[in-house]
Chains A and B, each alone.
Chain A
Amino acid sequence: MPHYRFVYSKVGNARYISHLELTKLFERAFRRNGIAAKYTEGFNPSVKLNFAAPLSVGQESLKEVAEVETTQDALAALTNLSLPNGIELLAVKEIEKGTPLMSRLGAAVYRVENAEPIRLGMDIFMRMERVEWQKKTKKGVTLVDMKAFVYSMSYDEWKLKAGNTGGINPQVLLERLVELTNTELGLLPKDLGYVDGSHVKIIRTDLLDEEGRGLYEFG
Chain B
Amino acid sequence: MHNLDFSLVEKPSRYIGGEVNSVVKENAAVRFAFAFPDVYEVGMSYVGLHLLYQMLNELDYLACERVFMPWVDMISQMEEKEIPLYTYETMTPIGECDFLGFTLQYELSFTNIVKMLSLSGIPVFSSARDASNPIVIAGGPCAVNPEPLADIVDLFCIGEGEEVMVELFELSRQFNLRDNAQRDTFFAHAAQLEGVYVPRLYRPIYVADRLTGYEDLNGNPMKPIRKRVAPPYRYTKQIVPFTEIVHDRVSMELFRGCTRGCRFCQAGMIYRPVRENTRESAVEQAKELIANTGYDELSLSSLSTLDYSEIEELIDDLLVAFDGTGVSLSLPSLRMDSASVGVLQEIQKVRKTGLTFAPEAGTQRMRNVINKGVYEENIIHTFEQIFSMGWFRVKLYFMIGLPTETDEDVEGIIKLARSATWIYKRVKPKDVKKSVEVTASASCFVPKPFTPFQWHPQCSIEEFEHKISVLKAANPNRKINLNYHSPKESWLEGIFARGDRKLARVINRAVELGCYFDGWADQFKFDLWMRAFDDCGIDPKYYNERKRSMDEFFPWDIIDTGISKAFLQREYEKALRSEETHDCREGCVVCGIGCMTEEGLSRFSFSDGISIPRPPAKETSKFELGGQNAAL
Contacts and interface: CB of A to CB of B under 8 A. Distances in A.
A28 B240 contact: yes
Contacts of B106: none
B16 A14 contact: yes
A10 to B, nearest CB: 11
Contact of A84 (B7, B20, B295, B325): B20
A110 interface: no
B7 A57 contact: yes
Contact of A32 (B17, B248, B294): B294
A16 to B, nearest CB: 4
Contact of B244 (A14, A21, A86): A21
Interface in A37-96: 39, 45, 57-58, 82, 84-86
Most B CB within 10 A of own CB, among A24, A27, A57: A24
Contacts of A142: none
B6 interface: yes
Contacts of B326: 31, 39, 45
Interface string A198-209: 000000000000
Contact of B293 (A30, A32, A45): A32
Which secondary structure dominates chain B's binding surface? Answer: loop
Nearest to A83: B20
A57 B12 contact: yes
B294 A14 contact: no
Contacts of A21: 13, 242-244
Contacts of A14: 16, 18
Interface residues of B, number: 24
Nearest to B21: A84
A31 B7 contact: no
Contacts of B240: 28, 84
B188 to A, nearest CB: 42
Contacts of B13: 16-18, 21, 57
B296 interface: yes
A152 interface: no
B292 interface: yes
B184 interface: no
B291 interface: yes
A16 B12 contact: yes
B288 to A, nearest CB: 11
Interface in A1-41: 13-14, 16-18, 21, 24-25, 27-32, 39
A64 B278 CA distance: 46
Contacts of A58: 6-7, 12
A18 B291 CA distance: 24
B16 A32 contact: no
A9 to B, nearest CB: 14
B19 interface: yes
Which secondary structure dominates chain A's binding surface? Answer: helix
Interface in B275-327: 290-296, 325-326
A126 B384 CA distance: 73
B12 A84 contact: no
Nearest to A13: B16
A13 B292 contact: no
Contacts of B292: 32
B16 A28 contact: no
Interface residues of A, number: 22
A45 B12 CA distance: 27
B296 A17 contact: no
A16 B296 contact: no
Interface string B8-39: 00001101111110000000000000000000
Interface in A82-117: 82, 84-86
A25 B293 contact: no
B294 A30 contact: yes
A122 B325 CA distance: 53
A32 B240 CA distance: 11
A34 to B, nearest CB: 8
Contacts of A30: 294
Nearest to A198: B5
Most A CB within 10 A of own CB, among B17, B242, B296: B242
A39 B324 CA distance: 11
Contacts of B18: 13-14, 84-86
A16 B294 contact: no
Contacts of B7: 16, 57-58
Contact of B291 (A13, A29, A32, A39): A32
Given A30-B294, A32-B291, A13 B243 contact: no
Given A18-B13, A86-B18, A29 B243 contact: no
A180 to B, nearest CB: 23
Nearest to A45: B326
A31 B296 contact: yes
Contacts of B296: 27, 31
A24 B6 CA distance: 21
Given A21-B242, A57-B7, A28 B294 contact: yes
B73 to A, nearest CB: 14
A13 B6 contact: yes
Nearest to A33: B294
A27 B20 CA distance: 13
A32 B16 CA distance: 22
A177 B511 CA distance: 45
B16 A16 contact: yes
A90 to B, nearest CB: 18
Nearest to A21: B242
A125 to B, nearest CB: 24
Nearest to B241: A21
Contacts of A29: 20, 294
A13 B16 CA distance: 6
Contacts of A18: 13
A57 B6 CA distance: 10
B101 to A, nearest CB: 25
A199 B244 CA distance: 31
Interface of A: 13-14, 16-18, 21, 24-25, 27-32, 39, 45, 57-58, 82, 84-86
Complex A-B, nearest 3 residue pairs according to Cβ-Cβ distance, in ascending order: A28-B294, A85-B18, A31-B294
14 contacts: A13-B17, A13-B18, A16-B7, A17-B16, A18-B13, A21-B243, A25-B242, A28-B240, A31-B296, A32-B20, A39-B326, A58-B12, A84-B18, A86-B18
Given A57-B13, A84-B20, 9 more contacts: A16-B13, A17-B16, A17-B242, A31-B296, A32-B294, A57-B12, A58-B12, A82-B20, A85-B17
Interface of B: 6-7, 12-13, 15-20, 240, 242-244, 248, 290-296, 325-326
